[in-house]
């Protein structure tokens, strides 16, 4: 992220694995890191959409914390979003840890989900089920009031909402 003005907001849904404590440790030495520990509020969708949690970036990026994504391509995703004036940017076709060591059954289920998602959203997106993307805040504001916010596949929820409007 060299040369970019950024902030890292780690949203922990009160997990018992020490995530919040570890993140706070890093935040003590880097003012660009903030930690939000939410009690009795769960879900990636809710975390992204709540501006009163202090996440107000014009180009918020989302990366779930399962360590399957290559965070080093975030600058590429941001550049693509800006240069091509897109609503969202995914790490499509970028080498990285996209599937990691997932069992074949999980990968197959993901592929089926992608096909169904494309039928619902009418969107030409490489991975609707991704937990790694960057969006333009204006796009998020356009769909946020109609989102279901019940699942963790926020990108699919946003695109399906847009298709239904």
Q: What is the pTM of this model?
A: 0.69
Structure token pair of residue 125? 């997106």
- 3-state helix, strand, coil split of the chain in percent (to 5) is 45, 10, 45
User: What torsion do the CA atoms of 156, 157, 161, 162 make, to the nearest 10 degrees?
Assistant: -40
Q: Dump pLDDT digits (tens) for 77-113.
A: 888 888 887 766 666 434 344 444 556 666 676 677 6
Q: What is the pLDDT of residues 2-14, one digit of tens each?
A: 888 888 888 888 8
């Amino acid at each position: 992220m060299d040369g970019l003005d950024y902030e890292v907001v780690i949203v922990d849904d009160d997990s018992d694995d020490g995530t919040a404590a570890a993140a706070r440790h890093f935040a003590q030495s880097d003012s660009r890191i903030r930690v939000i520990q939410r009690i009795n509020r769960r879900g990636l969708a809710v975390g992204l959409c709540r501006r009163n949690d202090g996440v107000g970036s014009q180009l918020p990026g989302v990366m779930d914390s399962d360590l399957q994504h290559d965070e080093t391509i975030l600058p590429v995703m941001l550049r693509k979003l800006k240069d091509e004036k897109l609503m969202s940017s995914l790490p499509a076709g970028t080498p990285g840890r996209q599937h990691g060591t997932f069992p074949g059954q999980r990968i197959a289920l993901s592929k089926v989900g992608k096909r169904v998602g494309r039928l619902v959203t009418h969107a030409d997106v490489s991975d609707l089920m991704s937990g790694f993307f960057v969006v333009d805040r204006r796009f998020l504001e356009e769909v946020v009031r109609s989102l279901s916010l019940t699942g963790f596949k926020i990108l699919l929820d946003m695109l399906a909402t847009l298709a239904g409007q």
